[in-house]
Amino acid sequence: MDHKEAEITSRTPEFMARERSKPFGWDAAHFVEWATVTEMLHRLGIQPGARVIDVGCGSGWTTLFLAEAGYDALGYDLAPANVALARERAARWGSAARFELGDMDALPDGEHADAALIFDALHHTAAQAAALRGVHARLRPGGWLLLGEPTWLHRLSPEARRVRRERGWLERGITLRSLRRDLRAAGFGELRRFFQPTRPYEGRVRGFTWQLARLVAADLLVAPQAHLWLAAERPRS
């Protein structure tokens, strides 16, 4: 079984039942990551009303959040169970977010978007360069791709090894060098680096010291459980 088939078949009823509430009741890190996406949108000047595609959207929470923030949001995912759950959640929320089946390695044709988000999804594909070319083709000139992915440390993490073993998913770690290379090759121009803040912590000494160490490490190199955040613009001409 290849990793794409594993992504689809692993969506059992038990698995999807937990996905129904994501990110609510999950790790607080998801809200820190969403805060980073929000800051990127603001700093890049992507205003509410802009058309945004969410590539590899999973159960759809980031697409739903985009729609709640006023964006015209369309999520794509490879797994039919994810798309069905995301549509169910959109109906439950009364959300205008839309969802379609789509493989990020061969993104379907559609209207040009003002921005695209790939969050926690690119590390599941073996065709990173092809995925980035497909997103580039879907962006209007001047449109931005926002990326948030685990660093190369992810491939060494016990959780990634467990998921590879139990579910058969591809769990890559991504380097800044490879990402910049493939973005340039796909035709992107300006690249802008962003950094996520620390997570909530308990303890004025131990907790603070650990979060400070993670923040400094992520700024200078990499840190455990910190994502690599990058924005890339499709040139205007």
pLDDT digits (tens, 9 = 90+) for 21-45: 999 999 999 999 999 999 999 999 9
Asked whether the beta carbons of 12 and 85 are under 8 A apart, the reply is: no
* Mean pLDDT along residues 48-65: 98
What is the pLDDT, as a whole number, of residue 203? 77
What is the pLDDT, as a whole number, of residue 202? 80
pLDDT band at 210, cuts 50/70/90? low
* Mean pLDDT along residues 82-99: 98
pLDDT band at 225, cuts 50/70/90? low
Residue 224 pLDDT > 60: no
pLDDT band at 110, cuts 50/70/90? very high
Cβ count within 10 A of residue 144: 25
**Whole-prediction pTM:** 0.91
C-alpha torsion angle, residues 139, 141, 147, 151 (rounded to 10): 120
pLDDT band at 57, cuts 50/70/90? very high
Distance CA 144, CA 116 (A): 6
Q: Closest Cα partner for 214 from 206, 200, 224, 205?
A: 224
Residue 206 pLDDT > 80: no
Widest Cα–Cα separation across the chain = 52
Asked whether the beta carbons of 50 and 115 are under 8 A apart, the reply is: yes
* Mean pLDDT along residues 61-87: 98
- 139-186 residue pLDDT tens: 999 999 999 999 988 888 888 889 889 899 999 989 999 999 999 999
Distance CA 128, CA 155 (A): 16
Residue 194 pLDDT > 70: yes
What is the pLDDT, as a whole number, of residue 152? 86
Distance CA 132, CA 122 (A): 9
Question: Which domains are assigned to the chain?
Answer: 3-233 (3.40.50.150)
What is the pLDDT, as a whole number, of residue 204? 74
Q: Point out the least confidently predicted range of 2-6, 126-130, 195-199.
A: 195-199
Asked whether the beta carbons of 7 and 121 are under 8 A apart, the reply is: no
59 by DSSP, 3-state: which?
coil
Q: Which structure tokens are listed for 174? A: 């991504």
DSSP-assigned beta bridge partners for residue 75: 54, 99
* Mean pLDDT along residues 185-212: 83
* Mean pLDDT along residues 209-218: 65
Cβ count within 10 A of residue 233: 19
